[in-house]
Amino acid sequence: MSIEPANLTAQLLHRAAGNPPSTLPDSAISNCFPGLEFDFRNVWRRLLEGIVLHEASGFVVSAEGEHARLASRFLISVADFPTLMDVRDPNGADAGSAFMEWSNALADVVAQHAGNPVPCVFFDPRNPDADPETVELVVRPMFVPSEATKGPTSAIAEELVKPGELTQSLCSPWQNDYQECGCYYWAASRPDYVNVEHTAAGAIGNKWLARSREPKTYDVPDITHEELFRDWEGLLRFVIGGREAD
């Protein structure tokens, strides 16, 4: 005789022999963009049958069968919910567009449409003048159903992630998160702005990770991930009293 927990709380708190406390969801840091223990964004890549998405954008990495033509396109809407949004900088100016994090963009889609087809809109960057194409794709359920309750369990469906995929896109090396996580987005261990001066038009300074110190503007491109990987010790300057340049 064995006792099998049927409720989700019992499953999530189950302690298998030999597993340390850090393996429990309630004790893990579990920042999912991109993550420290695992990258949960990868769960969403195969959410729609027939295509595989990039873990952080709507880019279609691969497609199969009748949907093969969708490869290298961008998914910009699912079930009438946009996944690509307009972005504005802190000054309110147009800063282009960006894809929403999948857990924010598609949570309602999974809850309302799992197992059913939904309209998906794709944009082809190779033919920007063409109208976006709408294709019906089936939404896969995210969790394995329980034989006891017939409801979802806490186990991720095998169709969504293959072995090793939950960790394949973790930050490596540390410079990846260091470049992305400014205080305006996430709790950062580095300054956002340095050499700040107060003028009649307001405060102005340098982004610490900007490639150039002139002109002082928000639009100066940041040092790239690759540049930090190769020469972080040569590019990053010491900050003393909020300044790192005369």
Q: What is the pLDDT of residues 192-212, one digit of tens each?
A: 888 888 888 888 888 888 888
End-to-end Cα, the chain, rounded Å:
75
pLDDT digits (tens, 9 = 90+) for 87-103: 888 788 888 899 998 88
- Can you give the pLDDT at residue 173? 62
pLDDT digits (tens, 9 = 90+) for 36-65: 667 788 889 999 999 999 988 999 999 999
Q: pTM higher than 0.95 for the full model?
A: no
Is 35 a residue whose pLDDT tops 70? Answer: no
Is 82 a residue whose pLDDT tops 90? Answer: yes
pLDDT digits (tens, 9 = 90+) for 148-205: 887 888 888 989 988 888 878 776 567 777 787 776 666 667 888 888 888 888 888 8
The mean per-residue pLDDT over the stretch 106-118 comes to 94
Q: Which residue did the predictor score with more confidence, 237 or 123?
A: 123
- Can you give the pLDDT at residue 150? 79
Please report where in the chains the tokens 């708190």 appear, as a residue: 13
pLDDT digits (tens, 9 = 90+) for 208-230: 888 888 888 777 788 888 898 89
Q: What is the 3-state secondary structure (H, E, C) of the chain?
A: CCCCCCCHHHHHCCCCCCCCHHHCHHHCCCCCCCCCCCCHHHHHCCCECCEEECCCCCEEEEECHHHHHHCCCEEEEECCEECEEEEECCCCCEEEEEECCHHHHCHHHHHHHCCCEEEEEEECCCCCCCCCEEEEEEECCCEEECCCCCCEEEEECCCCCCCCCCCCCCCCCCHHHHHHCCCCCCCCCCCCEEEEEEECCEEEEEECCECCCCCCCCCCCECCHHHHHHHHHHHCCCCECCECCC
Q: Which amino acid is at 222?
A: D
Q: Does residue 222 contact residue 211 with C-beta atoms inside 8 Å?
A: yes
Instruction: Enter the tokens of residue 127.
Output: 């033919």
- Can you give the pLDDT at residue 222? 85
C-alpha distance from residue 166 to each of 45, 61, 83, 102, 170 (Å) = 11, 17, 22, 15, 8
